[in-house]
Amino acid sequence: MSINTANEIDIVKASSSKIDTVDFENLVFGNIFSDHMLTCDFRNGAWEKPVIKPYEPFLLDPSAKVFHYGQAIFEGMKAYKHEDESVWLFRPDQNWDRFNKSAERLAMPEIPSSIFIDGMKQLIDLERNWVKKGKGNTLYIRPFMIAIGSGVVAAPSTQYRFMIILSPAKSYYQGEVKVIIADHYSRAANGGIGAAKAAGNYSAQFYPTKLANEKGFQQIIWTDDATHTKLEEAGTMNVFFRINDTLYTAPTSERILDGVTRKSLIEIAKKQGIDVDVRSVLVSELVDAAKNGSLKEVFGAGTAAVVNPIVGFSYDDTYYELPKVENSFASQLKEKLTNLQYGLETDDFGWMVKV
């Protein structure tokens, strides 16, 4: 291994790379990780010096508070390689800002951009060979923070670990997605942590999603916890509804994650001249629109899949198939956003950041 320092980050390079053992044409999402990771600990009220080092397991005390009280947050991002071999990030400031909002909500320390963004750039620069060219190829980026302080007293930790790990990815495609509209289980509640990207939000979904899978559905469209009448999110994604030629999506709230893909698609849609209405959409509206033929599309939006069309939904034991739409809003918006991310169209929004 070799050690050097760059911009206040120690870099310990792996003695060899495993990149030649990876089949980049047959990747399973999130299973393979690059040679290096970034780690930085928070102790005695301050962040220590970050280190980029070989990807490896690490030890924690069995009483570490992450295991007992769930102080754990994360982000999901991607790096893209353009045809000229340059590597780019998509709106990293938005992920950094949301990460710190999640940290605040879970009583965790905020992370400075010099560690989150600058550290990420240095890590990706070291691993740029893991970012492959070609539309659909990306390097998935997972920044996360966990409570590492020991003790089982029910109180926030005083010690934390921030890390970034990287995973090469192909286009994320789930096939046809059919959903059930939730009428009992909730993803989040008012006053809760639904707007934070907290690990516990995702584990809480696993059981109701398992029940949906057993009925032949891939995901759940979550509804508000109080009345189960307002449509909120689809699985782990924000959700859009096209009724006639207007695109609807719920406003962000304490229950709904402020998705970076969501807000980007809204801006692109408006620039494309698509009417966008950000408001609560009722289950009854969706059912009525499906019955009278005005419901044209439903699709999820998130980092992994970008846009995931939904082919039908079930509510109150009735299944509603969506029509096949030529030149759908979902396909138009995904094309525009991915073209921008891969440098195939001009970035008029100033969203791309070069590594």
Q: What is the reported pLDDT for 304?
A: 86
Q: What is the reported pLDDT for 175?
A: 72
Residue 176 has pLDDT above 90, yes or no: no
CA–centroid distance for 315 within its chain:
27
Higher pLDDT, 190 or 289: 289
pLDDT grade, residue 6 (50/70/90)? Answer: low
Residue 1 has pLDDT above 90, yes or no: no
Residue 351 has pLDDT above 60, yes or no: yes
Highest mean pLDDT among 94-98, 186-190, 202-206: 94-98
Which sequence spans correspond to the domains of the chain? 2-169, 177-341
**Nearest CA among 124, 200, 198 for reference residue 165:** 124
Higher pLDDT, 253 or 295: 295
Percent of the chain with pLDDT over 90: 89
At 254-299, the pLDDT tens digits run 898 899 999 999 999 999 999 999 999 999 999 999 999 999 999 9
Residue 173 has pLDDT above 80, yes or no: no
Print the SS3 string covering 283-331. Answer: HHHHHHHHHHCCEEEEEEEECCCEEEEEEEEEECCEEEECCCCCCCHHH
Mean pLDDT of 20-37: 94
Mean pLDDT of 149-178: 91
At 315-325, the pLDDT tens digits run 999 999 999 99
Q: What is the reported pLDDT for 174?
A: 66
Question: Please, which residues have CB within 8 angstroms of residue 55's CB and are 6 or more apart in sequence?
Answer: 14, 33, 34, 35, 36, 37, 165
Residue 192 has pLDDT above 60, yes or no: yes
Query: How high does pLDDT run on average in the chain?
Result: 94
- Which CATH architecture describes the domain 2-169? 2-Layer Sandwich (3.30)
Q: Helix or strand or coil: residue 334?
A: helix
Regarding the domain with residue range 177-341, which homologous superfamily does it belong to in the CATH classification? D-amino Acid Aminotransferase, subunit A, domain 2 (3.20.10.10)
